[in-house]
């Protein structure tokens, strides 16, 4: 029997070079991500993530449904989300994100907080939802009036307007793209035109909803054009969940420069 068989790898002497390799292999931080089955923009979450941060992705079971109120409620049942979140228990993420805006606002603020608790129980880590993160970001920027862009049908957008209103955040103008699928295919010029249409003089910021709405490459241009913060779902999600573990997001936009300090109304569960 050799030394490895007798004592195991943990008992072998390790050189400084070997220790350096082990440190490089282990990520500095890790985030679990629970998303709906139709999430396509995983890569955009990675672009916002800090260096040397692992993302452990999991999804809800597939449903053959268009993006409707029925669908977003189906992918956000707390007991089901807790089960899905348990699939990332093994890598032990430092924090967990429920990466769906509509799924986390569709039943209102109290239900969003229940969803956070379900994600935390399942994953064993402090958690945020995308909708909770958007609220946190707007509060950090002292914003109470927004222009809103969504890819949704107007009935889903109305649910978001009501959710934000519960936190004293008022939508002064909105633009719904009335899509029921393939949201990730929205082109930059379409996104920019929707922001321009939604923008209003009394709006202190522009919010772009939906984690499947690609925005990473246009936020800086939009902020320069509209002279106000532009908050996207994926940007706010990563800003908040990274903030929980003392990390900072990469990328552009005014939110990137804002320190994370959970507000008194924070929806995160430690």
- Enter the tokens of residue 201: 């003089």
Angle subtended at Cα 257 by Cα 255 and Cα 260, rounded to the nearest 5 degrees:
75
Query: Binning pLDDT at 50, 70 and 90, where does residue 261 land?
Result: confident
- The pTM of the whole model exceeds 0.85: yes
Q: How far apart are CA 104 and CA 130, in angstroms?
A: 7
Alpha helices in 49-153 (DSSP H): 69-74, 78-85, 101-105, 109-123, 130-140
pLDDT attached to residue 1:
54
Name which of 50, 23, 46, 21 is nearest 33 in CA terms: 46
- The mean pLDDT value for 57-79 works out to 97
Q: What is the pLDDT of residues 166-215, one digit of tens each?
A: 999 999 999 999 999 999 999 999 999 999 999 999 999 999 999 999 99
- Enter the tokens of residue 217: 């490459």
Tell me which of 260 and 155 has the higher pLDDT. 155
CATH number of 27-257: 3.40.50.12500
Contacts of 1 (CB under 8 A, 6+ apart): none
pLDDT attached to residue 260:
87
Q: What is the pLDDT of residues 70-98, one digit of tens each?
A: 999 999 999 999 999 999 999 999 999 99
């Amino acid at each position: 029997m050799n030394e490895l068989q007798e004592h195991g790898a943990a008992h072998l002497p390790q050189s400084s070079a070997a220790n350096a390799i082990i440190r490089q292999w282990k990520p500095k931080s890790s985030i679990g991500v629970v998303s709906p089955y139709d999430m396509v923009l995983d890569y955009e979450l990675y672009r916002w993530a800090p260096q040397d941060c692992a993302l452990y992705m999991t999804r809800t079971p597939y449903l053959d449904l268009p993006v409707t109120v029925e669908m977003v409620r189906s992918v956000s049942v707390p007991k089901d989300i807790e089960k899905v979140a348990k699939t990332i228990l093994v890598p032990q993420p430092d924090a967990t994100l429920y990466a769906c805006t509509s799924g986390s606002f569709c039943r209102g603020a109290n239900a969003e907080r229940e969803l956070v608790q379900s994600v935390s129980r399942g994953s064993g880590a402090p958690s945020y939802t995308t909708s909770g993160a958007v609220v946190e970001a707007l509060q950090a920027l002292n914003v109470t009036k927004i222009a809103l862009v969504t890819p949704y049908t107007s009935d889903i957008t109305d649910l978001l307007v009501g959710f934000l209103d519960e936190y004293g955040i008022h939508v002064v103008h909105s633009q719904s793209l009335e899509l029921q699928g393939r949201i990730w295919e929205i082109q930059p010029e379409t996104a920019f035109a929707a922001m321009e249409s939604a923008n209003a003089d009394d709006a202190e910021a522009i919010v772009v909803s939906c984690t499947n709405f690609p925005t990473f490459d246009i936020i800086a241009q939009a902020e320069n054009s509209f002279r106000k913060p532009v908050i996207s779902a994926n940007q706010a999600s990563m800003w908040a969940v990274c903030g929980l573990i003392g990390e900072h997001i990469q990328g552009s936009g005014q939110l990137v420069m804002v320190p994370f300090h959970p507000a008194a109304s924070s929806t995160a569960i430690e």
